[in-house]
């Protein structure tokens, strides 16, 4: 749907520039915080270096510093969590890091997301709900988890079903909870066929329920395959998701 200071090494020089440069091109403009002393980029680099070194403590310190920066949870999710995992994934794809390092980075990140939970439920509840799931045979769940968290942050109830969710279970929960929207996540490109099949079946059974789709799989294309489906919207960032939520928060 749906990343200076003291470091353990120069990750750009050690692991290659491609992922680092791509992250810089996508990152936020930090000039919007002219009076903010927090060093976003330096903290990001320390966090990324901690992930690559499998240093949970270093990552936690950086994560907590970002939490206290008042930049907002969506910014933290996009500019620290998502950006760093994209960069880790790029390094793995180019053979610069091992599968073990990539898996440990994911595990560290997922554990740290729990630190944000006290902030998720501060907003008043709106009486709206969303079912969020990763499609069958999709085992990457952090993106989907962040989507559910953004719904919670905006006063919705986010039912997150996790990774590798069988379609029948998604359908049963839709029938039980009557959500205002269903959101499906796919991280790897070969999950797109499964996602499109799931969307088609859900629309046939629940034609009035809008469906959101997204995930890292759409970085390599495929958006045109879902945008033509009725009642389906492809969102490629948490910013787009939050804009969609704002548009629909007053809909009956």
Q: Mark whether 97 and 169 lie in a shared domain.
A: no
Q: Mark whether 130 and 242 lie in a shared domain.
A: yes
Using CA atoms, how far apart are residues 80 and 137, in angstroms rounded to an integer? 27
Q: Mark whether 186 and 242 lie in a shared domain.
A: yes
> Which of 85, 119, 153 delimits the end of a domain?
119
Q: Look at phi and psi of residue 7 and say left if phi exceeds 0, alpha if psi is from -120 to 50, else beta.
A: beta
Q: Mark whether 154 and 218 lie in a shared domain.
A: yes
Q: Mark whether 30 and 89 lie in a shared domain.
A: yes
Q: What is the per-residue pLDDT for 36?
A: 52
Q: Mark whether 192 and 134 lie in a shared domain.
A: yes
Q: Mark whether 137 and 157 lie in a shared domain.
A: yes
Q: Transcribe 113-155 into DSSP letters.
A: HGGGHHHHT-SPP-S-EEEEEEPTT----HHHHHHHHHHHHTT
Contacts of 64 (CB under 8 A, 6+ apart): 115
CATH number at residue 97: 1.10.1240.10
pLDDT tens per residue across span 155-167: 999 999 999 999 9
**pLDDT band of 250, cuts 50, 70, 90:** low
Question: Is the model's pLDDT at 14 over the cut of 90?
Answer: no
Q: Mark whether 135 and 77 lie in a shared domain.
A: no
Q: What is the per-residue pLDDT for 3?
A: 26
Question: Is the model's pLDDT at 6 over the cut of 90?
Answer: no
- Regarding pTM above 0.85, the answer is no
Number of folded domains that form the chain: 2
* Cβ proximity of 49 and 7 under 8 Å: yes
Q: Mark whether 174 and 78 lie in a shared domain.
A: no
Q: Mark whether 112 and 138 lie in a shared domain.
A: no
Question: Is the model's pLDDT at 49 over the cut of 90?
Answer: yes
pLDDT tens per residue across span 215-240: 888 877 888 888 888 999 999 899 99
- 61: containing domain: 11-119
> Which of 84, 119, 154 delimits the end of a domain?
119
Q: Mark whether 152 and 203 lie in a shared domain.
A: yes
The answer to whether residue 2 sits within a structural domain is no
C-alpha distances in Å from residue 201, one per residue of 70, 165, 251: 41, 14, 25
Average pLDDT in the chain = 85
Q: Mark whether 234 and 125 lie in a shared domain.
A: yes
Question: Is the model's pLDDT at 124 over the cut of 70?
Answer: yes
The answer to whether residue 243 sits within a structural domain is yes
The answer to whether residue 54 sits within a structural domain is yes
> Which of 66, 86, 119 delimits the end of a domain?
119
CATH number at residue 135: 3.40.50.280
Q: What is the per-residue pLDDT for 148?
A: 96
């Amino acid at each position: 749907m749906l990343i200076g200071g003291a470091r353990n090494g120069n990750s750009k020089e050690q692991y290659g520039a491609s992922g680092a440069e791509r992250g810089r091109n996508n990152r936020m403009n930090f000039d919007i915080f002219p009076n903010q002393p927090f060093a976003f980029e330096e903290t990001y680099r320390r966090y990324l270096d901690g992930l690559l070194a499998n240093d949970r403590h270093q990552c936690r310190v950086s994560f907590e510093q970002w939490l206290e920066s008042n930049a907002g949870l969506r910014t933290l999710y996009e500019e620290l969590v998502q950006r760093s995992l994209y960069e880790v994934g790029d390094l793995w794809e180019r053979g610069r890091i091992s599968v073990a390092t990539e898996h440990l980075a994911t595990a560290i990140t997922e554990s740290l997301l729990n630190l944000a939970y006290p902030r998720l439920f501060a907003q008043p509840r709106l009486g709206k709900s969303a079912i969020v799931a990763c499609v069958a045979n999709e085992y990457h769940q952090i993106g989907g988890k962040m989507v559910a968290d953004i719904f919670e942050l905006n006063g919705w109830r986010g039912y997150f079903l996790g990774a590798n969710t069988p379609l029948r279970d998604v359908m049963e929960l839709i029938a039980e909870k009557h959500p205002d929207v269903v959101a499906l996540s796919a991280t790897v490109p070969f999950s797109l066929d499964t996602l499109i099949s799931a969307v088609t079946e859900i629309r046939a059974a629940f034609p009035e329920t809008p469906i959101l789709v997204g995930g890292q799989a759409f970085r390599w294309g495929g958006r045109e395959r879902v945008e033509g489906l009725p009642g389906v919207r492809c969102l490629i960032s948490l910013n787009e998701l939050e804009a969609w939520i704002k548009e629909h928060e007053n809909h009956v």
